Amino acid sequence: MIWTIIGTALGVIGIVLAIIFAKKSSTKKDIKSLGEKIESIPQHIIINSEDYNRISKEIQELEELIQVSLDVNNNLKLSELLKTKQQQLESLKENVNRLHETFNKIPLNTERLQQAKAYFDVGKFREADELLNTEEIASEVERLQAAIERREKEIDKLREDLRDKSNEYLIKAQIWTTLYSEPNWYEKAKKYFEEALKAARTEQALFDFAQFLSKHEQKYAILLYEELLDILRNKSKTNLPFIAAVLHNLGKAHDDINEYPKALEEYEEALKIFRSLENDNPKEYLPFVANTLNCLGGLHSDNKEYSEALNKYEEALEIFKQLSIDNPKKYLSHVPHILNNMGIIHNTILHSAFS
């Protein structure tokens, strides 16, 4: 009987010792892992922390209780609590490390930040927190945001004034496009267009200057049209008629310098937009459809794509005939012009067949 009691007691002691050694081993591993994670934190910062010392003391007390306790169930509860405290300590060290990194990355441009960093460097985290008074910060944020709003309104007004000056230069430039008797009319007009853009790169100034340049400096005109196209495409409210007009003119500019692929792509995109607009408003946009078809006919003809050229010319011709019924003064002149171009193509095809 006595041997049975002794054997049972030894078994319980063995279990308790196994738990203690297992927890000690685990604790050592956890502490080693924590040490590796906080190597980048100056030791005096974390060691002086009130929370670090409190949790460290609680861990030490739990370890001592586990060592002296012979109650298996109680040891299990203490071990779980010990594990929780060790995780808290690990989390604390990780967060202190992140805070240390943040202090080193941000500019400390305010007295509060500098003082908070001084408190942090000696482990006084609660003092740093108290220093960063949220009511004071919120009040200053509100004041600064109000100041920004006032400045933004002032800037908006200044930008509006600049757009007005740009428009004044724009009108002056266009006046000079009419002064052909002046020997330097082109240079003057170009200068005033450029001054308009220097004041404000408005959509109208970009478009009008590009149109002016398209007969004289196509590559310069292309740059302005492309800039304008990017602006129009990125606007929240899409202006499809304006985009189509820019694409058409851009296609014409590329056509003039024999850049066929780009011209074709731009004309076709313009035509697609004009057709979609014409579905809802034929009176307004049918002439643009016809004009773009006519340009595509010329482009295909120049590249000896005669079948495609004739298709485009024929569709343009039918539209201009239709438009000429109501407004012959404006549209009838297009009819003989297109017929002449089609005649040239037919003559070329006929000549090729007999050569």
Q: CA torsion sign, 204 to 205 to 207 to 208?
A: positive
Residues 6+ apart with CB under 8 A from 58: 85
Query: Of 318, 246, 320, whose CA–CA distance to 287 is shortest?
Result: 320
pLDDT at position 355 is 65
pLDDT at position 161 is 97
pLDDT in tens, 112-141: 999 999 999 999 999 999 999 999 999 999
User: Which residues, given as ranges, of the chain have pLDDT below 70?
Assistant: 1-41, 355
CATH code assigned to 199-354 = 1.25.40.10
The four Cα atoms 67, 69, 75, 77 give a dihedral, to 10 degrees, of -110
pLDDT at position 338 is 96
pLDDT in tens, 296-341: 999 999 999 999 999 999 999 999 999 999 999 999 999 999 999 9
pLDDT at position 318 is 96
Q: What is the pTM of this model?
A: 0.68
DSSP state of 304: T
pLDDT at position 11 is 47
pLDDT at position 4 is 45
Question: CATH 1.25.40.10 spans which residues of the chain?
Answer: 199-354
CA dist 210 and 249 (Å) reads: 9
Q: What is the 3-state secondary structure (H, E, C) of 32-100?
A: HHHHHHCCCCCHHHHHCCHHHHHHHHHHHHHHHHHHHCCCHHHHHHHHHHHHHHHHHHHHHHHHHHHHH
pLDDT at position 32 is 44
